[in-house]
Amino acid sequence: MNEAQLLERITLERRIISFNRLQGSSAIYYHWHQCVEFLYISKGYGIVVMDNQHYTARPGRLFIFPPFRLHKVHVNDSESNHYRRTTMHIEQSVVESTLQQFPRFQTQFSRVAASNAPAQAYDLSEQSAFIEAILERFHALTAAGQYAADDVAFLVMQIMALLPAQPLELKPQQQTASARIMQWVETHYHEKFSLDTLAGDIGFSRSYTSRIFRQQTGGSIHEYLLTRRIKRSCDLLRTTSLSIDAIAADVGFAEVTYFITCFKKMMQQTPLQYRKQTHQPLKIL
């Protein structure tokens, strides 16, 4: 797994938002955050994997990823596919408090920012000129990246005004092969992995199973399986007092030393270091 694919923890460090207008670089990674993320695509096409489904990243599409939700963005920036996007990682508790005088927007934002909410994908291409204008205006507020709570709340309100009052339940018309594979992994990731068993259970050949998953998600089954195991181990480290050995076994690792090696490679810290860091009081849940 290369540097661009490392899992990441967004550190807001008392900021209300991490706001970035990005262009000229590819995005190929699985990750999750302790805060809610809004991702708006201005240019470029690719794949977004979330909630065991894959969606097309395209101009005018807004994705909302709830806290601690595993997702993957796979877009290759090139001469024929310029990738420009805006990422907004938001400290939802401060924004919710600031929106008290606007209960409709407060409730709407709380619903999409809840950790148990479904990830969202909205087509806002018809409102793209307005979206670009409000994002550019917000970006110009300060070069230092420090934004007042009411500025962030106003940005959120403007975006929320374009969305349905209730979060969407994203249900594809037809279940794709990669979705079936991800759902199988979701059920069996804690067990010893066998590509033969996976292929047999879903009715595909070994080669087709591997090929179609890479084609539809931009990555390998083993990469997704390992990421899912590490994601679950982070949840257990953060929310339980289970030993490292018990957690390794619980998420499907036969050897605790291999678990620690994989964890450190992906998270850039040991499981114990992660536990100590995440057990400290956090404003973002």
Write down the mean pLDDT value for the chain: 88
% of the chain beyond a pLDDT of 70: 89
Taking only the tens place, the pLDDT of each residue in 186-211 is 999 999 999 999 999 999 999 999 99
The pTM for the full model equals: 0.82
pLDDT band for position 29 (cuts 50, 70, 90)? confident
Name, in order, each residue with C-beta under 8 angstroms of 173's C-beta and a sequence gap of 6 or more: none
Amino acid 171: pLDDT: 58
Confidence (pLDDT) at 100: 95
Residues forming beta bridges with residue 50, ordered by sequence position: 53, 71
Mean pLDDT, rounded, for 20-40: 87
- In this predicted structure, the answer to whether residue 105 has a pLDDT above a threshold of 70 is yes
Question: What residue has token string 């080669």?
Answer: 207
Provide the token pair at 214.
């890479």
Q: 195-202 vs 177-188: helix axis angle to the nearest 10?
A: 120
CB count in 10 Å sphere of residue 204: 18
Cα distances from 281 to residues 18, 35, 148, 275, in angstroms, run 20, 14, 23, 12
Judge contact between 11 and 273, C-beta under 8 A: no
DSSP for 218-271 reads SS-HHHHHHHHHHHHHHHHHHH----HHHHHHHTT-S-HHHHHHHHHHHHSS-H
- Greatest mean pLDDT among 10-24, 88-102, 271-285 lies in 88-102
- The whole-number pLDDT of residue 8 equals 56
Please tell me which residue, 154 or 26, carries the higher pLDDT value: 154
Instruction: Let me know if 247 is exposed, middle or buried by CB neighbors in 10 A (0-12, 13-18, 19+).
Output: buried
Alpha carbon 27 to chain centroid, angstroms: 12
What token pair was written down for 188? 């069996």
Of 115, 131, 6, 17, whose CA–CA distance to 65 is shortest? 115
At a CB cut-off of 8 Å and minimum separation 6, what does 199 contact? 205, 206, 208, 209
- 44 close to 29: Cβ distance less than 8 angstroms: no
Note the pLDDT of residue 282. 40
d(C-alpha 143, C-alpha 59), whole Å: 26
- Report residue 4's pLDDT band, with 50, 70 and 90 as the boundaries: very low
Sole residue written with tokens 């969606």: 55
Residue 241 pLDDT > 90: yes
23 contacts 76 by C-beta, under 8 angstroms? no
Q: Which domains does the chain have, with CATH numbers?
A: 3-160 (2.60.120.810), 177-278 (1.10.10.60)
- Secondary structure (3-state) at 68: coil
User: Band of the pLDDT at 184, cuts 50, 70, 90?
Assistant: very high
Matching residue, tokens 């979060």: 167
